[in-house]
A and B are shown apart, each in its own frame.
Chain A
Amino acid sequence: MKVVVDGIPLDLPAGTSGIDAVFAAGRDVPYFCAHSYLSPVGACRMCLVESGSPRKGKDGNFELDESGQPKIFWFPKPMAACTMQATDGMHIRTAKTSDVVAKAQAGMMEFTLLNHPLDCPTCDKGGACELQDRAFEYGYGASRFGFDRRHADKHYPLSDFVILDQERCIHCKRCVRYFEEVPGQEVLDFIERGGHTFIDTEEGGLPTGFQGNITDICPVGALLDNVARFRGRNWEYDHTPTTCTLCPVGCSITADARNGRLERVVARENREVNEVWICDAGRFGHVFASEDRLTVPLVRVDGELRPSDWDGAILAIRRGLTGMNPADLALYLNADSTLEEGAALETLAGLTDTPSVDHWPRYAANVETTATLTDVATADAVIVLGADLGEEAPVLELRVLEMLRGGILPPEFPHGTAIADLRLVERPTRHPERLAVIGGESRLSAHAGMRVSANGHNALARLMRPDTDDLRAAAKLLAEVKKPVLILGADVLNTVTREFTAQLADLVTRTGAKVLPISAGPNSKGLAHLNLVPRAGGLGYDRLEEARAAFISRLDPATHGLPGRARGFTIVHDTHLTATARLADVVLPAVTNYEKRGTTVNLEGRLLPLRQAALSAGEGADLIRTLTALAEALGVRTRIRGLKSAQALLADRLGVDLTDLPESGVIRPLGVTFTAPALPHTPQLWKERMHANPERRGSRVPDRADRIATWQLTGQDGALPVGGDD
């Protein structure tokens, strides 16, 4: 399809929108309402362009101009490029070559600003506000409207996490469309009409799960992230593109730090993994990274933990382990540790010959992954067995919902993801009959056409021998469709038996289904390829208290009602003084995953890079450096002393080059996995310390009851107030 933009000839795929044609030509057009993953609606009218097409005459041939070229018939007025489909032979003029477009855009900008409160000096979106940037680029620079602007509610809390400023809203409808089209929860809408229109909810608040995404896509400062609000300007932050490691999805995020504190997390696009969405835990649950951090080593002296330095800590470890064999020191690490850290621990375990090595959380068996998240989104049926995606892998839930509305992935251009994909429509038709949820009640089951309550361990068996109508329908669906995907959750993976594995293999060969087991921990899938499980005679993580001495990295068994220390000497390596750390003999400060370099492996088996955000961690050290210190205390010399040596070792072991991973990650086979019996694991996304304490942060949002109490006038009994409405 030939399209000409500002005289530049282009060859574009059929169905391309006008706005993408303009960007494909390397030209610019402002837009507020269009969004790559939402339906184009043409609400803001900023992307105006002039367009014209050749026309065929009565003889079926193109009408020609004097020079013998097809004559272009221009539309009489500028058109919104985001809802216009570029057609063969179409000519488009942008503001660069058309005065009409430039004037129309400047006029539209003036109109948009007509009722905007111009809070720019105080609005926290300043520096990241599309309206501000575009007003500067495309506006007149002056307004003819000198009157007072309309006023609406300011700082209106939609939830504890999202604050709405109704008068800043420019009615682009992105947040409304987001809730309708992406998580399928229609909780925001336009109320009133014309000049009185504002955004509000009648539901009493926003649903938890994916509400934070609206703060990313709001083109003005109307919807703000309450955890990050007023904590820094966009240009003050150090933006670090990294990977979220709170769950096994591994979403691409940007960690924004200011003055050494992690103030904000925003979503970054990764078409293969999270598109542009992240869950609320990933966005708002970062406060722990900058609060109550452990910054120096602590050593127990006279029964009390006292601040020390690393030399003091190493000395204390050496003293504490006197009379013990290095092999007596059990080594445990959290399954969100990087591959490099895992390799360092494995190497140390090899040196000390300790059989007691473990990572947690993990399942007793590793089920092979054959599906990617894109496979889930483009599947024609998904069966979810024993999973609560809200707790285990929230963004996977969004990909399943994407499958329900047709699995349309916006095309990719050299300028990036299509800005307006005309196949995406408002209120998309959903296909609940393509989703079966077998297992416990969850948020996703509300969207499913087939729901069967089952215990995890027999979910697959019941699917193989269906005994209810819903199960029969699910089995039939699986047998009939071409690209089914089976998602396995904790309830199933906790009880994987030989019989289960055989049944699963049988099902896969029969139906061609791809399987996506959800890893127990954020990097369980990667660490499973390292020998980080108890060897012969070794003690697993659940038998910690039997060990003579233990080194525990960023695990907190004491909080979960397990014994928090080894029989003899205990070393805890953690970011915070946890319940387990309080029981330890030596506590070493750790860094969080936001301030680590390394590699993590998500549930698809995709290798994703972690990068270091500029957070102040005091003397905190990652596991590799800590293990070097531990080796020194043990009197052994480990081969891995930093990231580079760890990556060199992993290149030998797993045959992958981790030094230069692409931005969106890459899936590589990592070879054999190591398994060992394990305790059942119950995934829980939000940890206690991830909740912001609004009072301490000085931005407490009143809850609904508080708000109503503030509104209630004294002397009224709370009965319905009398009166008409406007």
Chain B
Amino acid sequence: MTYFADKQLLVTDIFSRYPATPQGRRSALMPLLREVQDALGYVSEAHMAEIARLCGTTATEVRSVMSFYSTYHTLPTGRYHLQVCSTLMCALAGSDELWDHLVSVLDVQPGEVTADGRFSVQKVECLGSCGTAPVVQLNDEGYYEQVTRTKCDRLLAAMRADAPPPPDNPVPVTVREDGRQMTAKGERVGASIHDLAPLAGGEA
């Protein structure tokens, strides 16, 4: 049941990034949550309690932090977890209609997974892609942009065949220790500080 029981190295590594104080211990909350979420797809109550023990805080505190972010889930999600942006720009571009279409076609509501285990849906706050509204995020992999009803149907058909097209815009990116940004799939994005040539002359 305990997730971190056999991952002492990982736990030590995560805690080493923060000061060795009670406050510092608590700061490790988010990476620990991310670790469980990435591995299991959701964070159960037992895992919240386990993380609370590791951080020296309470499960309430963990749930409070975790529920603030829509990227953490308390229940298992489907293989294709579709997150529809419902903030103003997407709403003006028809995300409400898109949402209605999605839930009626898939016959699934937030908190549920379709019978075949493929789909789950979620409304999320601004995905920061207003120029390409309405936007749907697939898992952690990226955005499908300007999703019309036709495009939505096409995407769903592809997912049913387990061959989803690559996202129009891969997100999110993670920043590694060396400052390099990577997509969830491990592809390089943008530049790293190490790629920069040192400035010659003058004062910084």
Contacts and interface: CB of A to CB of B under 8 A. Distances in A.
Interface of A: 185-194, 200-203, 427, 720-726
23 contacts: A186-B57, A189-B60, A189-B63, A190-B64, A190-B68, A191-B64, A191-B67, A200-B63, A202-B49, A202-B60, A202-B63, A722-B75, A722-B76, A723-B111, A723-B112, A724-B73, A724-B78, A724-B81, A724-B113, A724-B121, A724-B122, A726-B110, A726-B122
Contacts, number: 77
Given A723-B76, A724-B81, A726-B111, 4 more contacts: A203-B58, A720-B75, A724-B75, A726-B110
Contact of A202 (B58, B68, B110, B117): B58
Given A191-B67, A202-B45, A724 B60 contact: no
Interface bracket on B: 20 to 34
A665 B48 CA distance: 47
A191 B73 CA distance: 13
B125 A186 contact: no
A386 B49 CA distance: 32
A335 B123 CA distance: 63
A151 to B, nearest CB: 16
A188 B64 CA distance: 9
A187 B112 contact: no
B64 A725 contact: no
Contacts of A427: 23
B182 interface: no
Given A720-B76, A722-B76, A726-B110, A200 B60 contact: yes
B110 A725 contact: yes
List of 7 A-B pairs having minimum Cβ-Cβ separation, nearest first: A724-B120, A189-B64, A726-B110, A723-B112, A202-B59, A724-B77, A202-B60
A697 B123 CA distance: 44
B60 A192 contact: no
Interface in B168-186: none
A54 B121 CA distance: 56
B111 A725 contact: yes
Contact of A725 (B57, B58, B62, B75): B75
Contacts of A203: 58-60
A200 B67 CA distance: 12
B180 to A, nearest CB: 31
Nearest to A196: B67
Contacts of B112: 722-724
Interface in B9-67: 23, 42, 44-45, 48-49, 57-64, 67
B74 interface: yes
**Main secondary structure on chain A at its contact with chain B?**
loop
Contacts of A187: 58, 60
Nearest to B41: A724
Interface in B83-140: 110-113, 117, 120-123, 125
Contact of A193 (B57, B60, B67): B67
Contacts of A723: 75-76, 110-113, 120
B7 to A, nearest CB: 22
Nearest to A721: B75
B137 to A, nearest CB: 13
A193 B113 contact: no
A580 to B, nearest CB: 44
A724 B122 CA distance: 8
Contacts of B57: 186
A54 to B, nearest CB: 38
A202 B52 CA distance: 11
B67 A724 contact: no
Contacts of B111: 723-726
A725 B122 contact: yes
Contacts of B77: 724
Contacts of B59: 202-203
A202 B48 contact: yes
A202 B66 CA distance: 12
B53 to A, nearest CB: 13
A185 B57 CA distance: 9
Contacts of A726: 110-111, 122-123
| Residue of B42, B75, B113, B122 most packed against chain A (CB within 10 A) | B75
Nearest to A193: B68
A725 B60 contact: no
B122 to A, nearest CB: 6
A304 B74 CA distance: 64
B63 A191 contact: yes
A186 B60 contact: yes
A194 B126 CA distance: 13
Interface in B146-203: none
Nearest to B110: A726
B84 to A, nearest CB: 11
A325 to B, nearest CB: 64
Nearest to B23: A427
Contacts of A720: 44, 75-76
A185 B42 CA distance: 27
A725 B74 contact: yes
B122 A189 contact: no
Contacts of A201: 60
A186 B61 contact: yes
Contacts of B62: 202
Contacts of B110: 723-726
B118 to A, nearest CB: 12
